[in-house]
């Protein structure tokens, strides 16, 4: 990787094996890397199970905040990732709960513009959330507002309404009320060419209506890496590899945390997107460039097969 | 108004009378200038009626898209503005309808993320809107999408839901589908310190989820002035005065259209906000600076009293 064309190295075979040998921690995004919805990427489960059995620390770093970590364990298991444990899963909802409890040591309640899973992740951590009464006649003109809201947390919320947005905007009038976002993913692909607006879309709405900027917990913010470092001993960024499918979140996250980065082409971003960033004259764009590119996480398979043969 | 301190001239008495004499067209914002909700600003109705009786062209330029123009006429009349006619009212919803019908000559349907008044303004102009079925079980995974949507129009929508946002995002995947916003007002003040998220908040959400930028119809875009120019003969920007209460929309609108601008202090923006923009080193901020400032539109009253005395 020299000078002008740093990054985007297509890697496979012995090079890939050497890279893996140099790393202790493998950080993996989930959607678009390991699975699409309920369908595992072919070979992904074998790769993850092999990494774990070969003694690597494998952790999952996901901005998906719609599922409590227990449900992630079930999903991993259901899709054939049989060796994954709760402690390996770092979702933006779990990390948001840690942030509120351990970093800002919140007193008072949190107003959540997000789904039920996000609320239950907070409650599990002992962080109290405003209970929302479902009153179809309530409007921002007449609804009650809780007196002790000390943070507004925005995540993916497929039950988002104008009233929730308006309430959140009102709470944020208080400069002592924190403004957090689980992540700022703009949208997620669905089947049939449809898309799902992401937390970043709702965060943008609230940023405009409140005139404030959110503190982002998920990728590309460094905070999730700090959570990982606090839960495992001896995490050395130089010995970590971040693997993801989205340049603007996964690769930037890796760059922000000084990790080597790898793009898999089974998700949102493609090689030409990465090369455009690489060849851009805007240096800030270079943080989106992966060090390495693989077609799929399944490209790791030969590395293990040879390894397994050698060890037999 | 010399050099470094251009703008923000507090004006009253004879100077104000001279300014009015030099202008043929008085463009007025409504909320925060003429009324707050259902309460007229003291003296505003007398001023407006006097301007009209003194032969000025008075037009109302409002980003409020929640009321059809007929209802505006009723509101004007109810609050004592007895001489106001339909033709004087330019709302962002009316101008959006004109834009779709006359400028882009839309064929196909418009998906509206806005209130009923916006839809009826479009339908009145002969622009067809997608009918939304109210199915509580519909999700973005299973709902039907109309096949011939050629524009998405966002306005103030206090019935906004995640599903509407998701549908709009899907329609905008088609690069031939236009993306319009009635206005980008970020929020509106309510009583008791509450706020109402504005069209700008919803537009931001959709811009992020679609990865596109909206074409804005309302202030500060020039388009509403083009609508006015098309409906009246001989509109000369040099003979127009734009009066409003919000620097970022009303004053910028005036600057964009090369009109003299006047801030009234009965609404959102205050003198110190205007002076901060004036004294800013960022030249783009200078477009937010009003040429003139009055405490209230009622400051015009003495000008007419003297005029009326003179003419008696």
The answer to whether the peptide bond before residue A220 is cis (omega within 30 degrees of 0) is yes
Tell me the backbone φ, ψ of residue A213, rounded to 5 degrees: -105, 140
Which of A24, A31, A176, A183 is the catalytic position? A31
The residue with tokens 């309460």 is B39
What are the tokens at A42? 């072919």
Q: Which region, left, alpha or beta, applies to residue B15 given φ > 0 means left and ψ of -120 to 50 means alpha? A: alpha
**Higher-scoring residue by pLDDT: A189, B35:** B35
How many residues appear in chain B? 312
- Collect all residues of chain A within an 8 Å Cβ-Cβ radius of residue B194: 140-141, 145, 166, 170
Position B113 confidence tier, pLDDT thresholds 50, 70, 90 = very high
Parse chain B into domains and list their residue ranges. 3-63+220-311, 95-216
The residue with tokens 């205050």 is B270
B188 is annotated as contributing to ligand binding: yes
* Residues contacting B242, CB < 8 A, separation 6+: B27, B61, B250, B251, B253, B254, B257, B259, B260, B261, B262
What are the tokens at B176? 């031939």
**How far is it, in rounded angstroms, from Cα A73 to Cα A75?**
5
Q: Between 3.40.50.1000, 2.60.40.680, 3.10.560.10, 3.90.76.10, what CATH number should domain A105-216 receive?
A: 3.40.50.1000
Q: Does A194 lie at the interface with B, CB-CB under 8 angstroms?
A: yes
Tell me the backbone φ, ψ of residue B111, rounded to 5 degrees: -90, 120
**How far is it, in rounded angstroms, from Cα A225 to Cα A231?**
10
The CATH code belonging to domain B95-216 is 3.40.50.1000
Q: Does A234 lie at the interface with B, CB-CB under 8 angstroms?
A: no
**CA-to-CA separations, A89 to A70, A121, A297, B142, in angstroms, rounded:** 9, 13, 18, 30
| Cβ pair B242, B250 in contact under 8 A | yes
What are the tokens at B11? 């004006």
- Residue A2's pLDDT is 39
Q: What is the ipTM of this complex?
A: 0.87
Domains A7-63+220-311 and A105-216 share a fold: yes
Which of B31, B157, B250, B299 is the catalytic position? B31
- A190 Cα to chain B: minimum distance (Å): 8
- Residue A311's pLDDT is 52
- Residue A66's pLDDT is 84
- Residue A198's pLDDT is 95
The CATH class that applies to domain B3-63+220-311 reads alpha beta
Q: Write the residue in B141, B195, B211 that is nearest to A209 by C-beta.
A: B195
Q: What are the DSSP E strand ranges found in B33-170?
A: 35-36, 39-40, 57-62, 89-91, 109-113, 149-154
Q: What mean pLDDT comes out for the span B258-267?
A: 97
DSSP states along A224-261: HHHHHHHHSS---GGGEEEEES-IIIIIHHHHHTT-EE
Q: How much of chain A is in helix, strand and coil states, percent to nearest 5?
A: 45, 20, 40
Q: Which fold has domain A7-63+220-311?
A: Rossmann fold (3.40.50)
* Residues contacting B78, CB < 8 A, separation 6+: none
Is residue B29 annotated as a catalytic residue, yes or no? yes
Is residue A137 annotated as a catalytic residue, yes or no? no
**How far is it, in rounded angstroms, from Cα A299 to Cα A297?**
5
| Nearest alpha carbon to residue A250 among A229, A235, A269 | A269
**Higher-scoring residue by pLDDT: B153, B312:** B153
- Residue A312's pLDDT is 47
Q: What mean pLDDT comes out for the span B266-286?
A: 95
| CA within 13 Å, CB half, B57 | 22
Long-range CB contact pairs, B301-307, < 8 A, 24+: B301/B43, B301/B46, B301/B47, B302/B12, B302/B13, B303/B13, B303/B16, B303/B17, B303/B20, B304/B46, B304/B47, B304/B50, B304/B54, B306/B17, B307/B17, B307/B54
How many residues appear in chain A? 312
Q: Does B298 lie at the interface with A, CB-CB under 8 angstroms?
A: no
Q: What mean pLDDT comes out for the span B104-129?
A: 95
SS3 B171: helix
- A119 Cα to chain B: minimum distance (Å): 18
DSSP states along A56-103: -EEEEEE---SS-HHHHHHHHHHTT-TT--GGGEEEHHHHHHHIIIII
Q: Does B189 lie at the interface with A, CB-CB under 8 angstroms?
A: no
Taking only the tens of pLDDT, chain A with its 312 residues reads: 434 557 999 999 999 999 999 999 999 999 999 999 899 999 999 999 999 999 999 999 999 878 889 999 999 999 999 989 999 999 999 999 999 999 999 999 999 999 999 999 999 999 999 987 778 889 999 999 999 999 999 999 999 999 999 999 999 999 999 999 999 999 998 888 899 999 999 999 999 999 999 999 999 999 999 999 989 999 999 999 999 999 999 999 999 999 999 999 999 999 999 999 999 999 999 999 999 999 999 999 988 775 555 554
Q: Does B137 lie at the interface with A, CB-CB under 8 angstroms?
A: no
Tell me the backbone φ, ψ of residue B187, rounded to 5 degrees: -165, 165
- Looking at chain B, the whole-number percentage of residues with pLDDT higher than 90 is 86
Asked if B211 lies within 8 A of A169 by C-beta distance, the reply is: no
What are the tokens at A234? 């001896």
Burial of A214 (0-12, 13-18, 19+ CB in 10 A): buried
- Residue B65's pLDDT is 76
Rg from Cα positions in chain B: 20
- Collect all residues of chain B within an 8 Å Cβ-Cβ radius of residue A248: none
The residue with tokens 């949190």 is A110
- Residue B3's pLDDT is 44
| Nearest alpha carbon to residue A212 among A154, A253, A164 | A154
What are the tokens at B276? 């901060």
| B195 to chain A: closest CA residue | A170
**How far is it, in rounded angstroms, from Cα A179 to Cα A168?**
9
């Amino acid at each position: 990787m020299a000078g002008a064309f740093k990054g985007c190295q297509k890697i496979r075979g012995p090079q890939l094996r050497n890279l893996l040998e140099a790393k202790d921690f493998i950080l993996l995004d989930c959607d678009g890397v390991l699975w699409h919805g309920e369908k595992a990427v072919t070979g992904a489960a074998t790769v993850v199970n092999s990494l774990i059995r070969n003694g690597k620390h494998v952790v999952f770093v996901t901005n998906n905040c719609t599922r409590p970590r227990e449900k992630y364990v079930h999903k991993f298991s259901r899709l054939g990732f049989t060796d994954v444990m709760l402690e390996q899963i770092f979702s933006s909802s779990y990390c948001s709960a840690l942030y509120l409890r351990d970093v800002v040591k919140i007193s008072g309640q949190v107003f959540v513009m997000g789904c039920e899973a996000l609320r239950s992740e907070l409650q599990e951590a002992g962080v109290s959330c405003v209970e929302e009464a479902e009153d179809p006649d309530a409007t921002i003109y007449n609804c009650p507002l809780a007196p002790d809201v000390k943070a507004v947390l925005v995540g993916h919320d497929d039950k988002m309404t104008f009233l929730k947005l308006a309430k959140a905007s009102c709470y944020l009038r208080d400069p002592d009320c924190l403004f957090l976002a689980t992540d700022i993913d703009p949208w997620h692909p669905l089947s049939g060419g449809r898309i799902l607006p992401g937390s970043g879309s709702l965060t943008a709405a609230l940023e405009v209506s409140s005139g404030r900027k959110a503190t982002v917990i998920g990728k590309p913010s460094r905070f999730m890496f700090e959570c990982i470092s606090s839960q495992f001993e001896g995490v050395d960024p130089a010995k970590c590899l971040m693997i993801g499918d989205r340049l603007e979140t996964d690769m930037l996250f890796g760059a922000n945390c000084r990790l080597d980065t790898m793009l898999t082409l089974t998700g949102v971003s493609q090689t030409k997107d990465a090369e455009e960033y690489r060849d851009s004259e805007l240096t800030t764009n270079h943080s989106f460039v992966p060090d390495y590119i693989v077609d799929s996480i399944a490209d790791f398979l030969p590395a293990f097969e040879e390894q397994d043969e050698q060890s037999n």
